[in-house]
Structure formats: structure tokens, C-alpha cells
Amino acid sequence: MAATRTRRQGNTAERILDVAERLVQSRGFNGFSYANVAAELDITTASLHYHFPGKAELGEALIVRYAARFADALEQIDDRLPGAPAKLDAYAGLYADVLRGKRMCLCGILAAEYETLPEPMREAVVRFFDDNVVWLTGVLAQGQAAGALSFEGSLSDAAESILSGLEGAMLVARPYGDLTRFQSAAARLLSALTD
């Protein structure tokens, strides 16, 4: 009986996170309320507060979960693809998949609202971007050592340019509802590393 109750509570928390993530990715963090989430799930706001005492705790949980899933995706890219150019293409594909679903990168949209976010959320957003730069730096080092990639400046500068370029390309493509616009920008960004 206790195991069933724990599982049901876990499922409710996951469902809350799923709805809240979709709302943040489409409306922004400041564009939804607990009432919006509760209405979609047909639960009370008290139930939301049971799982996440405040919106700041919900926001931080969203980022932690999103970052963990993103890290898993990067690990799969590392395991599946041997070459740096293919890894970078797959990385850009992660962003394209999000945009294809008419959403933004969770941390990208939160970065736009950075000044209005609670401090723990700010720290989690920065950590997400830092983790991406670390991964990209490793891929760039691999590609540079293999002679598959060429770029000017430091590894971290190039990694930050890729991250910024993809996040920016998502942001610009979004109002057009045009995935091709994003894919073209991403292809140009990455092809500059192999020329």
C-alpha cells in the first residue's frame, strides 16, 4: 500500500514537471501560474504545493531534470558517434528536436528571464550552460586533435560561440515557426569549423 502511494506521488510530481516544462518552454517562466498547471492536470493547487512548495522550487526542479536529460543525451552522442563533426551535428539536432516541438530550450528561455528568476534557478541555468561548454570543449579538442575541426581562438571561446549561436538561432527561428531557418543557421555555424 505504501509503495503504491509513493509511486502515485512520484507520478504526480512527474506529471506536474511535464506540464510546467511545456508551459515554460512555450510561455516562459513568468507566463504561467500554479493555477495553469493545476487546471491542466485537474488537481488542486494545494496538491502542487505539496510536491513543490513554491514556484521557485518547481523551477529549480525543472532545470535539474532538464539538465540531467540533456546530459544523458550528450552521453548517448559520445557513445554512439566517434567523430567530432558528427557529435556536433547531433548536438545541434537536440536543439532542432526541441524547436520542432514548438518549444524553446528550457534554459535558453529562462536565460531571457534571468533577472526575474530566484537565485537558485539562476545558478542552475548558468550550471546548465557551463556543462554544455565543458562538453563542447571536449568535442572540439577531440576534433582538433584528429584534424577534423579547425577554428581560431581558444577551445572554450569556440564552445561558447557554438552554444550561443544555437541558442540564438532557436530564438530567431521561433517567431517564424520555421525549423529550416534554424537548421540553416546551425549548418553554417558548424560548417565554419570544418572548412
Q: Where are the domains of the chain?
A: 59-191
Average pLDDT estimate for 119-126 = 97
d(CA 45, CA 39): 9
**Burial class, 105, CB count within 10 angstroms (exposed 0-12 / middle 13-18 / buried 19+):** buried
For 76-90, write each residue's pLDDT tens digit: 999 999 999 999 999
Q: pLDDT tens digits for 1-10? A: 444 444 445 5
Whole-angstrom CA distances from 67 to 57, 106, 129 are 15, 9, 9
DSSP assignments along 47-89, one per residue: HHHHHSSSHHHHHHHHHHHHHHHHHHHHHHHHHH--SHHHHHH
Q: Which of 149, 151, 108 is nearest to 129 (CA)?
A: 108
CA 68 to chain CA mean position, Å: 10
Instruction: Identify the residue whose cell numbers are 550561443.
Output: 164
- Does this model's pTM top 0.75? My answer is yes
* CATH topology (fold) of 59-191: Tetracycline Repressor; domain 2 (1.10.357)
Among residues 177, 88, 76, 178, the alpha carbon closest in space to that of 138 is found at 88
